[in-house]
Amino acid sequence: MSDDIWILGISMTSFGKRPESDMIDLAEEATLAALDDAGVTMADMGVLAVGNLMNAAAGVGQMLQKQVGQTGIPVYNVANACATGATALRTAMMAVKAGECDMGMAVGVEKLAGAGLLAGGSKKGDSDTWEPHGRQGAVAPLDGRVGTEIMPGVFAQIGMEYGHRYGGTSFELFARISEKNHGHSTLNPKAAYTKAMSLEQIMGDIMIAYPNTRPMCSANCDGAAAAIVVSDAKLKTMSLEQQRRAVKVSASVLTTDPWEEGCQVLPNVNTLTRNAAKQAYEQAGVGPEDLDLVELHDCFATAELVHYDNLMLCEEGGAVDFFESGAPFRDGSKPVNVSGGLQSKGHPIAATGIANIWEVCHHLRGEAGPRQIPDAKVGLAHVIGLGSACGVHILERSAA
């Protein structure tokens, strides 16, 4: 018996400011749309995994069940930084793969519009006197002294380090990556921002952490995404149309940092991504040359550049040449972030991992509308969360 897992249905809400909907309303919208897309109901689900980062202790999965149907199934509440959605999907997949059920659902949801800068580091309390506190027992914030946990700073350093090591980077180059993604977003009606931006606009905007200006940073917003997964055996009992639209999950990998002296001070998003990519390609039996499109975690323009290399879309050290070749543009040889990426589509943290998969699935089904990559057969979705966690999924079009 095959242990293949398929995505039977998938959905995402529009991303952006959604003041009319609370967190559970957004999750419900994505859930019901995914069930409709799959042609099944909550009664068919054997497991529910719900990802949410900002309210991780609130039992979001159980609250969603109350709104869409309580059937007594196991519910997992998942939080894993920006890899939360991908981790929720893996949770549902693992239950199906283990034979505990033949169908399950993963949901990711976040309300982040107006949240401002999501930052780490220490904060001063009410007292006028500094006292040792926190894991480091410091009497002053460590952020900026031994490194930084603030995401714009981390990813700015990552991009600058790549340039120092391999050369060829510049403020303008990183801005051009953002220009590409804002251009792609004009074809995605579900993106938070759907307006093209010129290079001059991007470079002239507010500097957040050099070399990333505001349009080069992912946008905090509201949104949800949901996916229905099904076993191979169960799929074979379903209609030919359901089989035709199902998308095979050829690889599902989650990695964390291996021990390195340097990553005890600063996060290293490169090693765990490269490790995840290697495992995924081996699992799926494909290589980067077989990919027809990639949705990667461009939380900042600098991140997109380094992940060209980490996902082995180019030779090591060749990310600048890869971009300059035009390969990652929608009409290039290896389209990257055709959705507009996190910089335009938006980044409601827990929803992003499933939303990236939603984009790839729609191209593999031939349902991506004006941004469709012709004859797309294989795609890769990637997310990374500081801490760190990296999720990589390789998806393939159904042969039915």
- Whether the upstream peptide bond of residue 211 has omega within 30° of 0, thus cis, is yes
Q: What is the DSSP string of 202-269?
A: HHHS-EEETTEEGGGBPPP-BEEEEEEEEEHHHHTTS-HHHHHH-EEEEEEEEEEPPP-SGGGTS--H
If we measure between CA atoms, which residue out of 382, 394, 387, 386 comes closest to residue 85?
Answer: 382
Q: Which two tokens stand for residue 397?
A: 């079009």
What is the SS3 assignment for 75?
Answer: strand
Domains in the chain, CATH or no CATH each: 5-114+219-397 (3.40.47.10)
Measured between alpha carbons, how far is residue 319 from residues 175, 197, 212, 311, 345 in Å?
Answer: 15, 23, 17, 10, 23
CA dist 353 and 193 (Å) reads: 19
If we measure between CA atoms, which residue out of 254, 251, 380, 358 comes closest to residue 307?
Answer: 380
Catalytic residues: 82, 347
If we measure between CA atoms, which residue out of 93, 90, 88, 113 comes closest to residue 103?
Answer: 93
If we measure between CA atoms, which residue out of 334, 341, 348, 248 comes closest to residue 301?
Answer: 341
pLDDT tens track, the chain, 400 positions: 568 999 999 999 999 999 999 999 999 999 999 999 999 999 999 999 999 999 887 899 999 999 999 999 999 999 999 999 999 999 999 999 999 999 999 999 999 987 765 544 444 455 667 677 776 677 666 666 667 778 888 899 999 999 999 999 999 999 999 999 999 999 999 999 999 999 999 999 999 999 999 999 998 899 999 999 999 999 999 999 999 999 999 999 999 999 888 776 677 899 999 999 999 999 999 999 999 999 999 999 999 999 999 999 999 999 999 999 999 999 999 999 999 999 999 999 999 999 999 999 999 999 999 999 999 999 999 999 988 999 999 999 998 7
293-295/378-385 β-pairing:
parallel
- pLDDT tens column, 203-244: 999 999 999 999 999 988 999 999 999 999 999 999 999 999
If we measure between CA atoms, which residue out of 365, 353, 356 comes closest to residue 396?
Answer: 365
